[in-house]
Amino acid sequence: EGMTISELAKRTGRSIPFLEEILVNVGEEVGSEFDPVSIDVVELIAMEVGVNVKRLHSNEGAELLPRPPVVTVMGHVDHGKTSLLDALCQTSVAAKESGGITQHLGAFVVDMPSGASITFLDTPGHAALSAMRARGAAVTDIVVLVVAADDGVMPQTLEAMAHAKAANVPVVVAVNKCDKPAADPERVRIQLGSEGLLLEDMGGDVQVVEVSAVTKAGLDKLEEALLLQAELMDLKARIDGPAQAYVVEARLDRGRGPMATAIVKAGTLMCGQYVVVGAEWGKIRTIRDMLGKVKDKALPSMPFEFEGLRGLPMAGDDITVVNSEERARMLSEGRGKKLEKNRLEKIGEGRIETPNESENVPERVELPIIVKADVQGTVQAVTDALKSLNSPQVFVNIVHVGVGVISQSDVDLAQACGACIVGFNIRSPPSSVTQSANRASIQIKVHRVIYHLLEDLGNFIVDKAPGTL
């Protein structure tokens, strides 16, 4: 709900004339200080004065209806996440209708014989969940934790458990590769138990299902376990009123322009509505379900694809419905400015705000860096070399190091801390990762010669903080 100018003044600690001036600037009519201002304008003003606002979606009095669970698959690399998603997708409505050929749009729906359905997020689980969590918008209701029966609990298994716990999302364990002779599901159970997961057969409430993505054994049991978990959670959503929705995947279609796959968390999204998505805006032109059928609206938990945005959003962006094109444009502009400001602040650490001072007393510019390299030894060598860039003016802050290619999860982290990513002696990241880095204005620098790397970063520093090298 909106509030009055007088209330707004109290909340932000700014004078009424000051707020009225902003209102005039954004083309709002200014009446009495007790006139209500709409929620969009409140958000805009809050951005101008640097206050954080959160839209509260009140469910009070609204009718709540059951909704399907939204499920994300996570687990250690090579334990079978992709294979399991593929196998589950083969049981989806889309696969049945298309004779098994399905497009990967970021989500699919499995219909159960009972009439219930399950929505699976078909995105690399890790990136999706951490991106969602970073924006405080866990769209995921349940995590399927995949553990290979022949390999057992591994580092990323534990990481996935930690993510799920932090996001307060319950876990259902899928012990995969049970077709293999070396499979030892019992060992997996014991390992998980000793990591603190309270498994069902040990008196806890975490279900464990033995499956094989290859033979497809146990998939029906896994789906049933997910529905049971969903029932326990009594998932419900408001249907009426403006939608609160999240992007799970976005792509650029040559003919149609930006397309996004999204899921409504509450309310109903309708064709023709103006929306602000992250820092992009648009008018919902077409809504299609995951079978490609055109719909006039999208309901909670059912993934859909839509057209009509001006630019490409990012996975995890929230979708906000606004009243008019003008509002949409205004809000997205405000958010864009805010994002840019945050980014510059993270890199420049206050330099932007005090240009005069910094001329005389240059502040030390922090340069957050994520380092990825082929082997541990190289990581160390690169880290040491980067530290040689430290000076009274520049502080190289290595926020994360790792072995292997640059992944979406590195980009997420870089975005969270305003870092640039340095890769050494590794392949360039996949184009999807590069694109998402570009969208978030994150620099990725891949080199094979230390000298070139240092030279490149030197130039980068001069760009970011002129006069410091």
- Span from 23-31, 34-42, 72-80, 310-318 in contact with ligand GDP (CB under 6 A): 72-80
C-alpha pair distances (Å), 174 with each of 197, 303, 309: 13, 23, 37
> Rule CB under 6 A: is residue 180 a binding residue for ligand GDP?
yes
> Rule CB under 6 A: is residue 425 a binding residue for ligand GDP?
no
Closest distance of CB 2 from ligand GDP, Å: 46
> Rule CB under 6 A: is residue 430 a binding residue for ligand GDP?
no
Comparison of 156 and 468: residue with beta carbon closer to ligand GDP? 156
Closest distance of CB 78 from ligand GDP, Å: 4
Closest distance of CB 410 from ligand GDP, Å: 17
Query: Alpha-carbon Rg of the chain, whole angstroms?
Result: 25
> Rule CB under 6 A: is residue 77 a binding residue for ligand GDP?
yes
Comparison of 80 and 278: residue with beta carbon closer to ligand GDP? 80
> Rule CB under 6 A: is residue 238 a binding residue for ligand GDP?
no
Comparison of 74 and 315: residue with beta carbon closer to ligand GDP? 74
C-alpha 73: how far from chain center: 15
> Rule CB under 6 A: is residue 14 a binding residue for ligand GDP?
no
Closest distance of CB 334 from ligand GDP, Å: 39
> Rule CB under 6 A: is residue 82 a binding residue for ligand GDP?
yes
| Residue among 35, 78, 353, 455 that touches ligand GDP (CB under 6 A) | 78
Closest distance of CB 86 from ligand GDP, Å: 7
Closest distance of CB 82 from ligand GDP, Å: 3
Q: What is the 3-state secondary structure (H, E, C) of the chain?
A: CCEEHHHHHHHHCCCHHHHHHHHHHCCCCCCCCCCEECHHHHHHHHHHHCCCCCCCCCCCCCCEEECCCEEEEEECCCCCHHHHHHHHHHCCHHHHHHCCCCCCCCEEEEECCCCCEEEEECCCHHHHHHHHHHCCCCCCCEEEEEEECCCCCCHHHHHHHHHHHHCCCCEEEEEECCCCCCCCHHHHHHHHHHCCCCEHHHCCCECEEECCCCCCCCHHHHHHHHHHHHHHHCCEEECCCECEEEEEEEEEECCCEEEEEEEEEECEEECCCEEEECCEEEEEEEEEECCCCEECEECECCCEEEEEECCCCCCCCEEEEECCHHHHHHHHHHHHHHHHHHHHHHHHCCCCCCHHHHHHCCCCEEEEEEEEECCHHHHHHHHHHHHCCCCCCEEEEEEEEEECCCCHHHHHHHHHHCCEEEEECCCCCCHHHHHHHHHCCCCEEEECCHHHHHHHHHHHHHHHCCCCC
> Rule CB under 6 A: is residue 288 a binding residue for ligand GDP?
no
Closest distance of CB 212 from ligand GDP, Å: 4
Comparison of 214 and 389: residue with beta carbon closer to ligand GDP? 214
Comparison of 7 and 86: residue with beta carbon closer to ligand GDP? 86
| Residue among 67, 81, 335, 439 that touches ligand GDP (CB under 6 A) | 81
Closest CA to 394 of 416, 418, 369, 365: 365
Comparison of 157 and 273: residue with beta carbon closer to ligand GDP? 157
> Rule CB under 6 A: is residue 177 a binding residue for ligand GDP?
yes
Closest distance of CB 432 from ligand GDP, Å: 15
Closest CA to 83 of 176, 10, 162, 1: 176
Within positions 147 to 176, which residues make up the interface with ligand GDP, using CB under 6 A?
A: 176
What mask of x and - would describe binding to ligand GDP in positions 185 to 224, judged by CB under 6 A?
A: ---------------------------xxx----------
| Residue among 38, 59, 83, 286 that touches ligand GDP (CB under 6 A) | 83
Comparison of 33 and 150: residue with beta carbon closer to ligand GDP? 150
| Residue among 12, 37, 69, 80 that touches ligand GDP (CB under 6 A) | 80
**How many other CB atoms are found less than 10 A from the CB of residue 352?**
12
Comparison of 37 and 172: residue with beta carbon closer to ligand GDP? 172
Comparison of 56 and 182: residue with beta carbon closer to ligand GDP? 182
Comparison of 84 and 94: residue with beta carbon closer to ligand GDP? 84
- Residue 280 CA to residue 282 CA, distance in Å, equals 7
From edge to edge, which strands make up the β-sheet containing 394-403?
394-403, 365-373, 420-424, 444-447
Comparison of 223 and 305: residue with beta carbon closer to ligand GDP? 223
Closest distance of CB 426 from ligand GDP, Å: 18
Contacts with ligand GDP by CB under 6 A lie at: 75, 77-83, 176-177, 179-180, 212-214
